[in-house]
Chain A
Amino acid sequence: MNGDDPASRQGNGRRQRHALRQHWWAWAAMALVVGVVLVASIDTSPSRGVSEQRRYALSVQLKCLQCVGESVAASQAPLAVQFREEIDSQMRQGRTDDEILAFFAQRYGQEVLLTPPSSGLGALVWVVPVVVVAAGVLGLAGVFARWRREAGARASEEDRTLVAGELARRHQDRDPEPAGPRDPDG
């Protein structure tokens, strides 16, 4: 695929061919392409109006209270059918998504919304994971910082000899070629 095989290449030619990979502009070009694609993919279709898509998007956010663990989009229960009809009629009246969801929440309580609230006690379900993850990342960063400060433990000369000997033995076992300077890039 990319000609990375260490045994068959000589270091110099490879280095030249791969020099491109170390240039920042090559990577910037990639980022640019991805950026343009992402911008181009932004969906501009309106979120108002009557459409199957919109009805589906709304009904997956509503819980079918008559059934067990199903959304209004999935269920065929009479209540779910009635909800879907109501969504249709409200879409025709030009209501926004938030207004339609609020309509159901006002009548059936918070429970009917599958999205937990963004205020009050219920908001904790959004906040707690973020806090826990942030704390975890900070903790890990702290541990790394401490390790770096204490980076005292170094390999002793004895360790180095041991490792070098072992590597030499290994390569003798494995390589039919005489051990020459190997390409560091493997």
Chain B
Amino acid sequence: MNRALGLAGLLVGLGGCVIGIGVLAEGLRRDRPHLLRMGLPYALVSLAGAVLSTIAMQRALITRDYTVEFVFDHGSSSTPPLFNVAAMWSALEGSILLWGLVLAGFTVAVAWRFRRRLEDPLVAWALITMFAVGVFFFGLMLTAANPFRGVVPPVGYDGPGPNPLLQNHILMAFHPPMLYLGYVGFTVPFAFAIAALVTGRVGEGWLVETRRWTLLSWGFLTAGIILGAWWSYEVLGWGGYWKWDPVENASFLPWLTGTAYLHSVMVQERRGMLRVWNLSLLCATFALTILGTFLTRSGVVESVHAFSSGSVGPILLGFFAVIVAVSVGLIGWRGDQLRSPGRIDSPVSREGAFLANNALFAAFAFVVLLGTVFPLIVEAVNGERLSVGVPFFSRMTMPIGFALLTLMAVAPVLPWRKGTGEVLRERLWWPAWGGVAATVFALAVGATGPTVVLAFGLAGFAAGSAIRQLVLATRRQGWRGLVGRANGGMVVHLGTILVAVAFAASTSYIRQAEVTLAQGQTSTVAGHEFTYLGSRTVERDNRVEVISEVRVDGGRVYEPRLNRYRMGGMTIGTPSVRVGPTEDVYLSVSSTPDPVTGEVTIRVIVQPLVVWLWIGGGVMVVGTVLSLFPGRRRDPTAPASAPVAERGARRDAEIVT
């Protein structure tokens, strides 16, 4: 029943996409507006199919319908309800279904948003592109990654449930959907980029149309990445949240190119320049989301997150290749038409800063990509095995991060076209003092090592600059000075700065130790006292918890525990963290109490400022939401370029929205 329903949903979804492409293509070929208007209905059909399949899958999970192989493999009668819902994205087939659902949703959203302009060939091409991506994912589900494959369960069978790591924390219910909303959302700007290339209308109109879609996807991706880091911290038991793992890198790469795009698109809107570059960034971002999915799903790289599964890998890789080929081909074909008419007058200008920003983000993405695949390259060339890990990424990305922070301080105060030293000195005065104060403060609170102190200083400088812009804007426009792209962007900057500082401080000043304690014994690590009070065992439906009670600094009792899952017998720790504004104290148990001596081994990790990572992430998301509201816009008919003379340039910069 659930299988039939689910398969029917997939077929309906695929049908909606395929017929949608056919009808729209026919409408374009014969120039029939009434056919082009069919884009919305077919988008709705494919969404209906995806919803039906999702309902069938959820129903199968809830009723523990073990005739569905996916439930047979990943369902269990003892899984708590929330994780039972989330079981859908705990493994390959279900996560592709989620992908298909989100994609169909986005397709409908696009068709609805442009429902009055469906006859425009550009919108039609964009929908065709989205349908084509839909065909791929529905096709994948009907072939290699079918979530509704059948199986005959033995009598009395009960499934193993999702991977224990994935049902251990509530964040797992939110991190993957967020990430997918981000990943899939980038299909929209990509579709419009392809449409603009195909129709040859490479002017600026479509950019304005898709800016908000891109921003929205970027916000989701940011939230997804931060939630993923938080999940690692809360679950994996070693106090880390980011280790440059291939799969983490795979989600970070589209974030980097997407961020670069969000900045450089302003140069195009404003000056009509960098068209080829922007289109390439959009295509690259989308291609990287597919590459990321491939890396996660194919097991080609070693990663805790990777789960390999047969023929899906090659298919995803093929799709990646097609996207790259189509993008490169189209951009090459239209290349000369894309030549930008403008030029940048001076490197010391807003557009010059955006260019530098893009160079840095491109370099960042290149370093991350190279580091991720380098072991494969070397092994392919001479069979040698080597590793590229945290030390490489830290060393290579640190200078880029510093340069980005500096740019973050200087760029917001730069006028368009041409800035002068005088203007810079005038406007950077307080931000610079902010930076100086931050270095002094860092030293005063005991920071050691010039790199961290410098990071603090640059962060203070950049934060000063962002705050200056926000203060000026709110003085001028009241609360409206916080919304709109430029002002919301400054809020995002502040969030990014918080994350950067927290990252630098927590990775540089991490202290960790392992202590073995008998009941009642006390030990001191990094200035904190830990007293082991004893252990108790709690039986749950799906696991046995061994809870150790540890008093920290004579105050509250913390309860790190070990969970032994009944199915598969996997043992997974649940750390307990004393969260504080300046410092987190992280406790995780390494072993169950020794049967003879009653001793336990507890790993203690003390890291400063960790909580600011999550707060910074929250600020970034809030800033993104603020940017989504329309700010004070430039009158679209107003001439965008003023004479290079200084006064004119100054005015120009003032009315940036």
A interface list, Cβ under 8 A from B:
1-2, 4-5, 18, 21-22, 27, 30, 33-34, 37-43, 45, 52-53, 56, 60-61, 63, 68-71, 73-76, 109-117, 121-122, 124-126, 128-129, 132-133, 136-137, 140, 144, 147, 150-151, 153, 155, 159-160, 162-163, 166-167, 170, 184-186
Contacts and interface: CB of A to CB of B under 8 A. Distances in A.
Nearest to A130: B396
Contacts of A4: 427, 468, 472
Given A116-B386, A159-B641, A70 B454 contact: no
Given A22-B426, A30-B436, A38-B454, A155 B385 contact: no
B381 interface: yes
Interface stretch (B196-204, B404-412, B443-451, B620-628): B443-451
Nearest to A20: B429
22 contacts: A4-B468, A18-B426, A18-B429, A22-B425, A37-B440, A37-B453, A42-B449, A60-B390, A61-B391, A71-B390, A76-B590, A114-B388, A114-B392, A116-B386, A116-B388, A125-B370, A128-B370, A129-B396, A163-B642, A170-B638, A170-B655, A185-B423
Given A38-B453, A126-B396, A155-B642, 15 more contacts: A2-B430, A22-B425, A27-B425, A33-B436, A34-B435, A37-B453, A41-B447, A42-B448, A56-B512, A61-B391, A70-B243, A116-B388, A167-B642, A184-B646, A184-B647
B371 A125 contact: yes
B366 A129 contact: yes
A167 B651 contact: yes
Which 8 A-B pairs give the minimum distances between C-beta atoms? A114-B389, A74-B238, A115-B391, A111-B385, A21-B429, A41-B453, A43-B448, A147-B343
A2 B468 contact: yes
A2 B465 CA distance: 12
A163 B475 CA distance: 26
Contacts of A159: 639, 641, 643
Interface in B353-385: 355, 359, 362-363, 366-367, 370-371, 374, 378, 381-382, 384-385
B510 interface: yes
Contact of B389 (A42, A63, A137): A63
Contacts of B642: 155, 163, 167
A74 B389 contact: no
B311 interface: no
Contacts of B396: 126, 129
Contact of B513 (A45, A52, A68, A125): A52
Nearest to A60: B390
A160 B641 CA distance: 9
Contacts of B429: 2, 18, 21
B457 A34 contact: yes
Contacts of A117: 386
A165 to B, nearest CB: 9
Interface of B: 236-238, 240, 243, 245-246, 302-304, 306, 343-345, 347, 355, 359, 362-363, 366-367, 370-371, 374, 378, 381-382, 384-392, 396, 422-423, 425-427, 429-430, 432-433, 435-436, 439-440, 442-443, 447-450, 452-454, 457, 467-468, 471-472, 475-476, 510-513, 590, 635, 638-639, 641-644, 646-648, 650-651, 654-655
B639 A68 contact: no
A163 B359 contact: no
B361 to A, nearest CB: 12
Contacts of A68: 302-304, 306
Given A73-B238, A111-B386, A132-B363, A30 B392 contact: no
B449 A41 contact: yes
Nearest to B352: A144
Contacts of A115: 389, 391-392
A150 B344 CA distance: 11
A21 B425 contact: yes
Contacts of A144: 344, 347
B644 to A, nearest CB: 7
B384 A121 contact: yes
Contact of B363 (A18, A129, A147, A170): A129
Contacts of A162: 639
B387 A112 contact: yes
B448 A41 contact: yes
A167 B440 CA distance: 44
Contact of B304 (A69, A121, A140, A155): A69
Contacts of B366: 129, 132
A59 to B, nearest CB: 10
A136 B427 CA distance: 29
Contact of B344 (A147, A155, A184): A147
A56 to B, nearest CB: 6
Contact of B426 (A60, A126, A185): A185
Contacts of B650: 184, 186
Nearest to B237: A76
A69 B246 CA distance: 9
Contacts of B374: 116, 122, 124-125
A137 B360 CA distance: 10
Interface hub of A38, A69, A75, A140 (most chain B Cβ within 10 A): A69
B359 A140 contact: yes
Interface hub of B381, B467, B643 (most chain A Cβ within 10 A): B643
Contact of B359 (A30, A76, A136): A136
Contacts of A21: 425-426, 429
Contacts of B447: 41
Nearest to B513: A52
Given A27-B432, A144-B347, A170-B655, A114 B648 contact: no
A113 B387 contact: yes
Contacts of A132: 363, 366
Nearest to B343: A147
Contacts of A34: 435-436, 439, 457
B450 A41 contact: yes
B643 A155 contact: yes
A175 to B, nearest CB: 12
A140 B355 contact: yes
A76 to B, nearest CB: 5
Given A34-B436, A129-B363, A110 B646 contact: no
A57 B116 CA distance: 61
Interface hub of A1, A45, A136, A153 (most chain B Cβ within 10 A): A1
Contacts of B245: 69
Contact of B449 (A43, A75, A133, A137): A43
Interface hub of A34, A71, A121 (most chain B Cβ within 10 A): A34
B343 A69 contact: no
Nearest to A183: B650
Contacts of B433: 30
